[in-house]
Amino acid sequence: MEAIILAAGYSSRANAFKMTLPMGQMTVLEQTISKFEGLCSRVIVIGGFQAEIIQEEVMKINEKNAYSFQIKFVFNENFNQGMFSSIQKGCIAVNDSPIFITPGDCPMVKKETVQRLAEEEGNMVIPSFKFKGGHPIKISNEVKQQILKTNPKSNLRVVLNRFEKKYVNVDDRGVIMDIDTPNDYQKAIDYYKALLSH
């Protein structure tokens, strides 16, 4: 298994470059990456806007030698076309299936959730919290091929609607938490501290 982490966006509402914001001993991006330890052979991080910041962050994480997988940085020169172009770029870079896909700003997912998704069969496995779908999603090779065939100006939903979705209900609010605004970041930090104190 491999994972694609999308980190090419503009962070426009966060008033800061959200991927490198601190969260505990790590950055937001590393928190997201760390959830795939022991499950994936490789993690592909897709950068675009301010790609050199993401590339530097990936180098720093790799230098720690804290993970059993290789973390590879891939630049999406078409990042201004939107997230789907980054997903396609990631699908070109992966060798292995199934594949996890997640935005880099979803650091609050529990590792047990990712483990559980890894064990589920299906073309498309989506975690859901209180019946709301979240991230990371897991896709099969068949879905990957379809993503690669689709017009770059399209979006992931169009592709996913062609396949049967398998929702896995999890007791993990982290699957629906992302960091788009300073307020989201504060909520994520509070949530993270609460998890640690349990």
Which pLDDT tens digit goes with each residue over 133-155? 999 999 999 999 999 999 988 88
Query: In percent, how much of the chain has pLDDT > 90?
Result: 78
Helix (H, G, I), strand (E, B) or coil at 47: strand
E-state strands within 108-176: 124-129, 132-133, 137-139, 166-169
Cβ(113)–Cβ(127) under 8 Å?
yes
pTM of the predicted structure, to 2 decimals: 0.94
DSSP label at 100? E
Residue 10 confidence (pLDDT) above 80: no
Give the Å distances, CA to CA, from 131 to 120, 169, 171: 18, 7, 11
| Cα–Cα distance measured from residue 185 to residue 169, given in angstroms and rounded to the nearest whole number | 24
Give residue 155's identity as a one-letter amino acid code.
N
Q: What is the mean pLDDT of residues 156-182?
A: 93
Burial of 141 (0-12, 13-18, 19+ CB in 10 A): middle
Q: Which backbone phi and psi does 140 adopt, to 5 degrees?
A: -90, 175
Strand-pairing partners, residue 75, are 47
- Residue 165: the pLDDT is 94
Residue 50 burial (CB < 10 Å; 0-12/13-18/19+)?
middle
So what's the pLDDT on residue 13? Answer: 60
Taking the C-alpha atoms of residue 116 and residue 4, their distance in angstroms, rounded to an integer, is 18
Q: How far apart are CA 124 and CA 122, in angstroms?
A: 5
12 has pLDDT over 70: no
Confidence of residue 195 (pLDDT cuts 50, 70, 90): confident
Which pair of structure tokens corresponds to residue 25?
């001993």
